[in-house]
A and B are shown apart, each in its own frame.
Chain A
C-alpha cells in the first residue's frame, strides 16, 4: 500500500522551525482525515499537524522535545490507493526527503553550471575599440596612448581591452629591459601617430641622376642632392600649389608661401629645417642658407623661426642606402618627397640599340590620399623628375 509523508508546516510568518511537544498516537494507530496527529510548539503558539487523509501511522521520524525545520518529514502514513492519488503521491507537498530542508547557514552543495563565455556584447560598449573610464584614467596616469595598446589582446566583451588586460600587459613589460625615451623620440612618436590617422599612400618612379651629378661636379661649392630636390619640388608647387593643400572640413586650404622643409637626421630623431620661398630664388642663392640650416640642425641649434610652416618636405633616404621607402608626411602636411640612393644600371638606348649605363634613383611621393589621388601625385612627380633631369633650370 502507498505511503505519504507528514510534513512540518509553515506555522506563521518568519517561522523556521517548531518543537515536538506531544505524539498522542503510536505506530500502528488508525487515524482519520484532518486529525491532529503531532503537537508542535512555535515561538507564538502550540498547534497540531494534521493528516491529509485517513490512514495508518507506520513511522515517526521525530522525537519529542526536539526541534525540526519547516518542511521536515515527521513520519509516514499508510493510505489507500485512491487517497494516495487524491492527495498526490508525495502527500500534497513538494518536499520529499529531509536532505532538502537546510537552514540558511548550510554550505551550498548545488551543482554549478559551467561558465558561459562569449556573452552578447552590449551595443553601447562599442566592441574592441571601447576604452572604459577606468582604462582612460589609468592610461592618462601612465601617459599611454591608444596606439601603445595596439599589442594588447582584449579579454572583455567584443574584444575590448579591460583594466586587467592592461595591468597584465604592463607587468609583463617589466620583464624586459627598459630605457627612457628621449623627449625628441616622444615628440616624433606623437607626430607620427597623429599623421597616421589619415589615409596615406605612396607612389614612385625612376629619375636619372646623371645630369644632376654632372651639374654638381661643375660647382665650386657643391650643393647636396637634397637641395636640388627641394628646388625642383618648390618650382613644381609654384606652378600648381593644390597638391600641397590641406583638407580641413569640406575645404582645401591652399598654402600661402612655397616654404619647403627637408629632413635632417639629428641624434635620436629627425629635424626639419625650412627654406622660405624656395620657389622664388635659384639654387645658387639658396645654397648658403641651406648649408647653414643643415649645420644648425645637426647640432640641434635650429632656431624656431627656421622650423615649421613648410608646405611640403623632402627626405633624402638615399643617404642611408635605401632605394625606396614609404615615409610618413608631417601631420600638418600633405606631401613628402623622397629621393632614394642612385645606382648605376643598364638602360636600353633605342637609338644605339645597346644597353648604356645610367645612374638611376627612386623618386617617391608619400601623400594624404584625401587631398590627391594617384594621377595628381604622378603628375607632380613627373614634373619634379623632369626638373631634376634639367638641373640648369633649378
Chain B
C-alpha cells in the first residue's frame, strides 16, 4: 500500500530507535502523551514502546470518542429503541460498549431491538430511503475527523426531504479536551512533558488549532502521522524540543495536515452544528463548549428534538479506573478490575471494549508485559 508501507519499514524503525537512544538525556524522563486512541492502538499493535529507551514513556490520552461517551447516552439510545421501534444505525465501535444495568447495544439487539451496523453515514441514509415507514436514527460519535461525514448526511437528508431520518449527535471537540488535561495540577496532573497530536482530527482542524498548547501551557506538541514511523519520528521531534527547551507546535504529518486544515469541512460543520453550552465527558466531567449539537435550522433531523430524548445520568461501575486512565493518571494495570472482573468479553467500562481504549490495547497486545521488556528479551524469557 503506497504511502502506508513505507511508513512501516522495520529497518528504518531500528535506525530511528538508535537515534532516539543516542539523543535522550539519560538524566531525565520523557512523559509524552499520545492524545489519540488510534495512536495508542498503533503503539501497541506495532510494539513501538519496545523500541524506546526506558526513560521515554507514552501516557495514553482521552482521545477515544467511545471511551469518553457517558453511559447515559447509550442508555438514551436504548430507551429510544424500546419506546419508539426505530431503526438505530451505528458504527460497529459502539456495539459492545457497556451501558447501565449491564446492557449494551449488542444485548438490546438480542432482545429484539432493530440495530444495524453501518460503515458510513451513507448506509444509514440508504436504510432510511429503503424503509420510508420506519424512523431511522443515526448514532453519531467521534471527534472532528468523523463530524464532517455526519454534516454531509444531515444536509443530504434536508435536500432530499428525507423526513424519517435523524441524527443522535455525540460529536466532541479535541482542543477543549486537551486543555482540560493540561489544566490539571497537583495530584490530578498527568505531568506530561509533550504531546503527540492526533493525526486525522488535525487534517480537519489544522495544526494552528493547537497553538494554545505552546503559548498558554508551554507544552510542546508534534502532530504525528498514523503510521508507526510517523509516531517514532514525532517522538524524536518532541525529544529534541524538550532537550532544547523549545516549545512549539510542529507538524510531522505534513502529507495531509496543513496549518489551516480542511476549510471546506470546517465551514460545513459550522453550518450544521453549534457548541453545546456544556457536555458530560466520561472520566473528564462536565466541560463547557466541548461538544456539538445540531442547529435549529436542521432541528427536523435532530433526534433529540424529534423524540424529546431526556438526558439520563448514569455512573460508572465502582472501582472502575477508566476516568483516571483517560486522564493519563493511571495505567490500566493499576485498576483492580483489570483482568479480574473486567475483561473484553465482560467489560465494566468502555476502555476495555473500544478498539482505541487503553485497557483494550493493554489486554490485547501486552497484558503480561513487564515494564521495559523488549522483544529481544521476550525470546529469552519464554
Partners in one complex: no
A residues contacting B by CB (< 8 A) are none
B residues in contact (CB < 8 Å) with A: none
